[in-house]
């Protein structure tokens, strides 16, 4: 199974796709985890087929974020492509400060050493699906608001970096609002629609350690008053799911195990 790299400047990254979004240490996948990922993909496909939807927001629990009160770590925009489902999402390469946009099948999406083998699904409102689906099938539009500089905790209302969940909702905004042709305008639309990011409480000691040891973590795009009071706002799956339901842009979260 080979995912399709969307961003033209990231063709080289496609060569290391097996490691996209995870460590590059040589570690063969465990057969048990592969089997569990394939079962989750099958169950998710059945659920999506039965829903009658064409586009959904799909999430996985790749990391244990329970310390921050969060269930899911990463989301993508899944759409029906003929008789199968494809997931467009942004992946960080090998823990670096660079990321690219990919299309993957459901099996590939869940084949990522998950913390918990469950999926979260939000079915979008029909008009949102209709607006978003053509953009997901168009390579140019899919990469239009992509910023390669990756930061796991990017500030939602800045453009210096962009993390995966942030790219997804900015792309949704671009598809729904014809005026959201830049990241700034997409973020303005998200604010107008009432999106509220999650606030993570991260001490200065933890911030320093993360900045020194991880290339894909930065805090310099956050406002000083919030950063120095240990309040780090970022786009999380849980905040996106809550917003979609609250705004009426999507339905409640459906869990697939």
For residue range 160-173, what is the model confidence (pLDDT) as tens digits?
999 999 999 999 99
Q: State the first-to-last Cα distance of the chain, in angstroms, to the nearest integer.
A: 22
Domain coordinates in residue numbering, the chain: 4-256
Locate the DSSP E strands across the chain. Answer: 4-5, 55-61, 74-81, 84-92, 99-105, 116-123, 198-201, 231-234, 254-256
Q: What is the structure's pLDDT at 21?
A: 43
pLDDT grade, residue 4 (50/70/90)? low
Average pLDDT, the chain: 89
Question: Has residue 17 got a pLDDT over 70?
Answer: no
Q: Is the pLDDT of residue 19 over 80?
A: no
Q: Report in angstroms the alpha-carbon separations of 256 from 45, 73, 103, 248, 250.
A: 10, 15, 21, 22, 17
Q: Which CATH superfamily is domain 4-256 in?
A: endopeptidase domain like (from Nostoc punctiforme) (3.90.1720.10)
Residue 2: strand, helix, or coil = coil
Residue 25 — very low, low, confident or very high, per pLDDT cuts 50/70/90? low
Q: Residue 255's closest CA among 84, 60, 24? A: 60
What percent of the chain clears pLDDT 70, i.e. is strictly above it?
86
DSSP string, 158-183: -SS---HHHHHHHHHHHHH-TT--SH
- pTM for the whole structure: 0.89
pLDDT value at residue 78: 98
Instruction: Identify the pLDDT of residue 213.
Output: 66
The pLDDT confidence band at residue 1, using thresholds 50, 70 and 90, is very low
- For residue 73, is pLDDT > 50? yes
pLDDT at site 16: 30
Taking the C-alpha atoms of residue 137 and residue 249, their distance in angstroms, rounded to an integer, is 20
Specify which residues 76 forms β-bridges with: 58
Indicate if the pLDDT at residue 11 is higher than 50. no
Tokens at 12, concatenated: 């080289």
Using the predicted structure, report yes or no on whether residue 3 has a pLDDT greater than 80: no
Residue 22: pLDDT above 90?
no
Question: pLDDT tens, 215-245?
Answer: 889 999 999 999 888 999 999 999 999 999 9
């Amino acid at each position: 199974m080979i995912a399709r790299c969307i961003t033209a400047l990231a063709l080289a990254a496609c060569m290391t796709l097996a490691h996209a979004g995870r460590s590059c240490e040589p570690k063969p996948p465990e057969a048990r985890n592969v089997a569990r990922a394939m079962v989750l993909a099958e169950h998710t496909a059945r659920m999506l087929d039965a829903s009658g939807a064409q586009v959904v927001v799909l999430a996985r629990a790749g990391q244990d974020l329970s310390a921050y009160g969060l269930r899911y770590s990463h989301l993508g925009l899944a759409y029906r492509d003929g008789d199968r489902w494809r997931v467009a999402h942004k992946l960080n390469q090998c823990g670096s400060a660079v990321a690219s946009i990919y299309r993957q099948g459901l099996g590939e999406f869940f084949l990522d050493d998950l913390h918990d083998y469950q999926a979260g699904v939000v079915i979008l409102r029909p008009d949102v699906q209709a607006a978003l689906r053509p953009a997901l099938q168009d390579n140019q539009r899919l990469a239009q608001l992509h910023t390669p500089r990756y930061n796991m905790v990017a500030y939602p209302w800045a453009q210096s970096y962009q993390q995966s969940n942030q790219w997804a909702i900015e792309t949704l905004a671009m598809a729904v609002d014809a005026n959201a042709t830049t990241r700034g305008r997409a973020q303005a639309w998200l604010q107008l629609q009432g999106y509220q990011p999650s606030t993570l409480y991260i001490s200065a000691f933890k911030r320093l350690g993360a900045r020194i040891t991880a290339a894909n973590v930065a805090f310099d795009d956050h406002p000083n008053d919030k950063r120095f009071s240990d309040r780090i706002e970022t786009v999380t799956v849980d905040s996106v799911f809550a917003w979609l339901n609250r705004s009426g842009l999507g339905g409640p979260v459906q869990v697939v195990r």
